[in-house]
Structure 1
Amino acid sequence: MKLSNILRGFSVRALVATGILSASLIACTKNFELYNTNNTGVSSDQLGPDFNGLGLYLKSAQMAIYNFSGGGDPNSFQLQQNLNADCYSGYFMTATNFASGVNNTNYGLVTGWNGEPFKVGYLSVMSPIFKLRATGIEKTFPAVWGVALIVKVAGMSRVTDIYGPIPYSKVGLNLTTVPYDSQEQIYNRFFLELDTAAQYLRAQIADTKPLPFNFGNFDVVYNGNFTQWLKFCNSLRLRLAMHIRNIAPEKAKAEAEIALNPANGGVITDNADNMNVKVGQGFTNPLVFISTIWEDIHINASLQSYLTGYNDPRIAKYMSKSTDDKSAGQYLGIRIGSAVSKDNYGKYSFLSKTAFNLNSPVQLMTAAEVYFLRAEAALKGWANAGGSVQSLYEQGVTASMNQWQVPIGDYLSNKDSVMADYKDPRNSVNDIKKVSTITIKWSESAAEPEKLERIITQKWLAMFPEGQEAWTEFRRTGYPKLFPVVENKSGGTIDTKIQIRRLPFPQNEYSTNPATVAEGVKLLGNKDEGGTRLWWDTGINK
């Protein structure tokens, strides 16, 4: 049985209600199949000279980064990201009483949920890319292989940033037991793969001879534009370099300066180059589906409190208003870890949902994020940042406002507004005072920690709704300051104040790959827990 088909046709709510979620998700595969199975549905006889089969491999991997599973079915995405990183990032929270009130959103980590990002990474990202490589694409059309490498790094960087050590360098070699790499080894390999990708793309861009097929037919991001892929490649490299700034500062600086060097092709500077995965042809935005159709996810109180406190003009683009009689017209979030039940929260009409529609593209990286990355690079004195810290910070805010087509007004000169207190209209137990007093206007005289908090807080606001990267940045920097969980049901393995740092390895790994997962646990200091810090998560900003 293939894991890729298990969720199809079922909702998470139904599986949880019947008590079969854990067993159904992890009991039907072997380690060999997980790391070596073709999960694309493309058979060998479809790989013809028209490139259709090859293109489907790449398209499948592109869509799997955010997991458009099963023709738009959002079940897998709900476990891959939405009930994990999207909530831990401060963006979302559920008002559904999953698993009788003990689930990932209050740190009562559900074993059957925690394997989904791992499964998607190998079956839906790695597998089609290695099948693509087996066709000889690297020699016949190197630029296409370059795009595949970028997709591979983009997808698997998310997986390692969830778990830490994972199998990576030996995946695809048809081994029955695949060893785990340390996260340091994985990041070093990421940079090498992005090197190769950038070289192939630069060569293709310099070559006036077009490909003998329309690559845009299989590119759901940039419609076959290799120049845009190169900018994303460099921007992704900058993002990953910043991830390791606290643990490997010299390596981070070197990689960031390569990414920022204009001679290497540039980074994303315009919203036209944003990394957005398109929907359509039977696929819809899974986050919007979960929010508006199932009503299983709502806006997190942390996000609502920053946006309302700042009177941020993006708020109407991000979230809906309450339609409840008692709070109609207000923007209202819900705190992570709140005790929810049908009686307390009813149809949840008083809570804000996403303001996007089912056909909204999935946003994975924006010009705004890159400006804030450059602002942090300038803050550290790295070369090629391309401006002062203040100018890059303000360009980041401006790029985000332009992206969402809202007037910026006097937002950048606002020196007084801060995060708002949170008041839950249904349960005062969830009420909490603001946890941050960071303002919007840039202050050149501020100390470096304040400058960093200002950069990351605005970066976090601009990255919405991409919760995976937002959670990573929160863990890396400690910013923005987020409300802690109301109820912590981790049994002491996760500190409420420090908040969750990772997901435990899937139970399936312990069942089918026990020796090598044990090596992975050793790399984590022999603690496979939600409170265990990753390699780059030092807890200290340098």
Structure 2
Amino acid sequence: MKLYNKMKRYRSGLLVATAALVTGMSACTKNFERYNTDNTGVTDGQLGPDFNSLGLYLKSAQMSILNFSGGGDPNSYQVQQNLNADCFSGYFMTPNPFSSSNNTNYGLVPGWNGEAYKVGYLNVMSPVLKLRESGIDKNFPAVWAVAQIIQVTAMSRVTDIYGPIPYSRVGEGLSSVPYDSQQDVYKRFFAQLDTATGSLRAQISSGTQLPFNFSNFDVVYNGNFPQWLRFANSLRLRLAMHIVKADPATAKLEAEKALNPANGGVITDNADNMTVKVTGDFTNPLVFIAKNWADIRIGASLQCYLTGYKDPRVSRYMDKATDPATGLKGVYKGIRIGSLVDKPKYQTYSSLNTEDGASPAFTLKTPMQVMTAAEVYFLRAEATIRGWSNTGGSAQQLYEQGVTTSMAQWQVSAPGYLANDSSHADAYTDPKNPVNNINSPSTITIKWNEGDVEAKKMERIMTQKWLAMFPEGQEAWTEFRRTGYPKLFPVVNNNSGNTISTDVQIRRLPFPQNEYNTNPAAVAAAVQLLSTPADNGGTRLWWDK
């Protein structure tokens, strides 16, 4: 099966202005009709103000954070994230050239770049608006709190792709919805999290029983409100850290609020990891793309850090190469981003771990990962270095806890790993094309050294955080842009026409072409809100300093 290129047009301004488009939306993928119907189990004629149909809206929004619901079969996820952030983050690279110029070599494809935007509004914002129209925010504030948390989770990913987005005026019935600056979008995120966490704390304190089984519609935490509260606080901490260079005072305020034990705590155990279950006829789209289409393989940056560190997670993250060529068969080998590839040659490089070992880590039903306890420990380690309150340990303690929590998540043993002060990322060699060869990207080692300068401590934290967040490429790309770590291999070929620096690497995606076609005045104003008024992949976001 091949990547689709043609998308039916949708009118952005109208879509985001109404919540009645949850069902019956114009198709964007070849299997839209089946996926849209199967996800909710109801049709237009069946929708009503009952708990069952409203709960299904919530389930739809949860599954669309990482898009395998609503309009999203694996085709949609492929261009929403996989051929974008998953590759930009250093985790993956495609063996399929698709065309000589595409996102993996910075020849940005307009037909790919609007998918994350479309999914955010049609598959998340629209059902959440439908929930609000039902009065659930007043009648069942704890359920509305979960809907708000889902919306913030999903739309934070959208703004971190494009920058300014329509947000505060969505749902007002406007024919042209204005964009908010990214700074204002983040302010709104924090306000929504204030409301949501307050409602969750009230629900937990009162113990009020809902008149329906919320767990039927919760494919993340099975209706467990304390877990949703811990995730909401962890999400606040993540978003606070995103803006630390752009607005350090707000970052500190929001991070300390998230870390204050009186507010319900953050994720500290893998049992609380935020993962979305893959139910019914749906499949994990990343696994589907790797296993069934052979359209994605491991990136060279990830492979070189794991093999250089002799990291035991390597066997859980990837399979060994199957190519019989010398230097390939039976070893872990990724593909360098921006390489000139052809599928028969490069699909034999390392893929996700779907085959090797007695119990491979990835199957078509593996839940989709959004946030883990390990990530939160690394956030807390960074907060400690910044001198913030309520972090709960020294930077070294939290760093080491992040590593050991990740090892436990992936069920590997790592004796001596934290004491390794000599190993660093490998250089990359490509047996099929020496043009792709490159020296090691970094000399950073694993063992904590309290005497290191702050920059070196940050590189160590961020490198291990990046290893622990796999395979969630969207957040990994965000953190690379925010901090510059880990140091990643640059693209071999840069087809951006000098709009994206090979060394600095890609910073964002351009606004969707459909917005220029249907919402031209608003998107033109949005361009002026960017750090520089240039709608291309080299322009930095507000928080990207």
TM-score, normalised to structure 1's length?
0.93
Give yes or no for contact 2:15–2:121 (8 Å, CA) kept in 1.
no
Match of residue 32 from structure 1: 14
1:496 equivalenced with 2:502 (yes/no)? yes
Deviation at 1:106, TM superposition (A): 0.2
Task: Count residues in correspondence.
Answer: 517
Deviation at 1:43, TM superposition (A): 5.2
Give the whole-Å Cα distance in 2 for the aligned partners of 1:92 and 1:352.
9
Query: What's the secondary structure of 2:7's corresponding residue?
Result: helix
1:479 and 1:205, CA in 2 relative to 1: closer, same or farther beyond 3 A? same
Give the whole-Å Cα distance in 1 for the aligned partners of 2:159 and 2:165.
6
Pick from 513, 526, 532 the counterpart of residue 533 of structure 2: 526
Give the whole-Å Cα distance in 2 for the aligned partners of 1:12 and 1:352.
18
Report matched runs for 1:100-139 at 5 Å.
100-139=99-138
Query: What's the secondary structure of 1:199's corresponding residue?
Result: helix
1:70 and 1:36, CA in 2 relative to 1: closer, same or farther beyond 3 A? closer
Match of residue 297 from structure 1: 296
Letter of the 2:193 counterpart: L
1:320 equivalenced with 2:326 (yes/no)? no
Letter of the 1:531 counterpart: G
Give the whole-Å Cα distance in 1 for the aligned partners of 2:273 and 2:72.
22
Give the whole-Å Cα distance in 2 for the aligned partners of 1:70 and 1:12.
20
Match of residue 56 from structure 1: 56
1:73 equivalenced with 2:73 (yes/no)? yes
Give the whole-Å Cα distance in 2 for the aligned partners of 1:30 and 1:362.
27
Match of residue 95 from structure 1: 95
Deviation at 1:325, TM superposition (A): 1.6
Give yes or no for contact 2:67–2:76 (8 Å, CA) kept in 1.
yes
Query: What's the secondary structure of 1:363's corresponding residue?
Result: strand
Give yes or no for contact 1:32–1:177 (8 Å, CA) kept in 2.
yes
Give the whole-Å Cα distance in 2 for the aligned partners of 1:351 and 1:168.
40
Give yes or no for contact 1:72–1:282 (8 Å, CA) kept in 2.
no
Deviation at 1:324, TM superposition (A): 1.6
Give yes or no for contact 1:40–1:60 (8 Å, CA) kept in 2.
no
Give yes or no for contact 1:217–1:223 (8 Å, CA) kept in 2.
yes
1:450 equivalenced with 2:456 (yes/no)? yes
* 1:320-378 C-alpha deviation (Å, 9 max, x unpaired): 11122222210110000000124643xx2233334411111111000000000000000
Match of residue 357 from structure 2: none
Match of residue 172 from structure 1: 171
1:372 equivalenced with 2:371 (yes/no)? no
* 1:380-421 C-alpha deviation (Å, 9 max, x unpaired): 000001100000000000100000110121100011100001
Larger mean Cα displacement after TM superposition, 463-472 or 204-213? 204-213
Give yes or no for contact 2:335–2:349 (8 Å, CA) kept in 1.
no
Give yes or no for contact 1:71–1:283 (8 Å, CA) kept in 2.
no
Report matched runs for 1:66-465 at 5 Å.
66-69=66-69, 73-98=73-98, 100-326=99-325, 327-342=328-343, 344-345=345-346, 348-355=347-354, 356-465=362-471
Give yes or no for contact 1:50–1:213 (8 Å, CA) kept in 2.
no
Give the whole-Å Cα distance in 2 for the aligned partners of 1:54 and 1:37.
12
Give the whole-Å Cα distance in 2 for the aligned partners of 1:187 and 1:523.
14
Letter of the 1:330 counterpart: V
Give the whole-Å Cα distance in 1 for the aligned partners of 2:138 and 2:430.
59
Match of residue 469 from structure 1: 475
Letter of the 1:430 counterpart: N
Larger mean Cα displacement after TM superposition, 262-271 or 41-50? 41-50
* 1:50-80 C-alpha deviation (Å, 9 max, x unpaired): 5110101100000000001368720000010
Give yes or no for contact 1:299–1:351 (8 Å, CA) kept in 2.
yes
Deviation at 1:40, TM superposition (A): 3.4
Give the whole-Å Cα distance in 2 for the aligned partners of 1:12 and 1:156.
28
1:71 and 1:31, CA in 2 relative to 1: closer, same or farther beyond 3 A? closer
Deviation at 1:39, TM superposition (A): 4.4
1:320 and 1:520, CA in 2 relative to 1: closer, same or farther beyond 3 A? same
Deviation at 1:33, TM superposition (A): 2.5
Larger mean Cα displacement after TM superposition, 202-211 or 362-371? 202-211
Deviation at 1:46, TM superposition (A): 3.7
Letter of the 2:334 counterpart: G
Give the whole-Å Cα distance in 2 for the aligned partners of 1:43 and 1:137.
21
Match of residue 4 from structure 1: none
Give the whole-Å Cα distance in 2 for the aligned partners of 1:132 and 1:33.
16
* 1:517-542 C-alpha deviation (Å, 9 max, x unpaired): 0110001121101000000001xxxx
Give the whole-Å Cα distance in 1 for the aligned partners of 2:290 and 2:423.
29
Report matched runs for 1:503-542 at 5 Å.
503-524=509-530, 525-538=532-545
Give yes or no for contact 1:72–1:286 (8 Å, CA) kept in 2.
no
Letter of the 1:536 counterpart: W
Match of residue 7 from structure 1: none
Query: What's the secondary structure of 2:369's corresponding residue?
Result: strand
1:191 and 1:471, CA in 2 relative to 1: closer, same or farther beyond 3 A? same
Give yes or no for contact 1:26–1:507 (8 Å, CA) kept in 2.
no
Deviation at 1:209, TM superposition (A): 2.4
Give yes or no for contact 2:318–2:350 (8 Å, CA) kept in 1.
no
Give the whole-Å Cα distance in 2 for the aligned partners of 1:287 and 1:490.
26
Give yes or no for contact 1:422–1:433 (8 Å, CA) kept in 2.
yes
Deviation at 1:208, TM superposition (A): 2.3
Give yes or no for contact 1:440–1:454 (8 Å, CA) kept in 2.
yes
Give yes or no for contact 1:319–1:353 (8 Å, CA) kept in 2.
yes
Structure 2 gaps of 5+ residues are 24-41, 355-361
1:285 and 1:72, CA in 2 relative to 1: closer, same or farther beyond 3 A? farther
Letter of the 1:331 counterpart: Y
1:28 and 1:200, CA in 2 relative to 1: closer, same or farther beyond 3 A? closer
Give yes or no for contact 1:69–1:77 (8 Å, CA) kept in 2.
no
Query: What's the secondary structure of 2:110's corresponding residue?
Result: coil
Give yes or no for contact 1:337–1:486 (8 Å, CA) kept in 2.
yes
Give the whole-Å Cα distance in 1 for the aligned partners of 2:53 and 2:345.
51
Match of residue 34 from structure 2: none
Match of residue 478 from structure 1: 484
Give yes or no for contact 2:10–2:514 (8 Å, CA) kept in 1.
no
Give the whole-Å Cα distance in 2 for the aligned partners of 1:28 and 1:243.
31
Give the whole-Å Cα distance in 2 for the aligned partners of 1:128 and 1:50.
14
Deviation at 1:425, TM superposition (A): 1.5
Query: What's the secondary structure of 1:113's corresponding residue?
Result: helix
Give the whole-Å Cα distance in 2 for the aligned partners of 1:46 and 1:137.
18
Deviation at 1:27, TM superposition (A): 3.1
Structure 1 gaps of 5+ residues are 1-10, 16-20
Letter of the 1:117 counterpart: A
1:79 and 1:520, CA in 2 relative to 1: closer, same or farther beyond 3 A? same
Give yes or no for contact 2:276–2:368 (8 Å, CA) kept in 1.
yes
Give the whole-Å Cα distance in 2 for the aligned partners of 1:315 and 1:377.
28
TM-score, normalised to structure 2's length?
0.93
Give the whole-Å Cα distance in 2 for the aligned partners of 1:171 and 1:28.
16
1:174 and 1:370, CA in 2 relative to 1: closer, same or farther beyond 3 A? same
1:89 and 1:35, CA in 2 relative to 1: closer, same or farther beyond 3 A? farther
Deviation at 1:97, TM superposition (A): 1.1
Deviation at 1:287, TM superposition (A): 0.3
Letter of the 1:55 counterpart: G
> CA RMSD of the aligned region, Å?
1.4
Deviation at 1:29, TM superposition (A): 3.3
Query: What's the secondary structure of 2:336's corresponding residue?
Result: coil
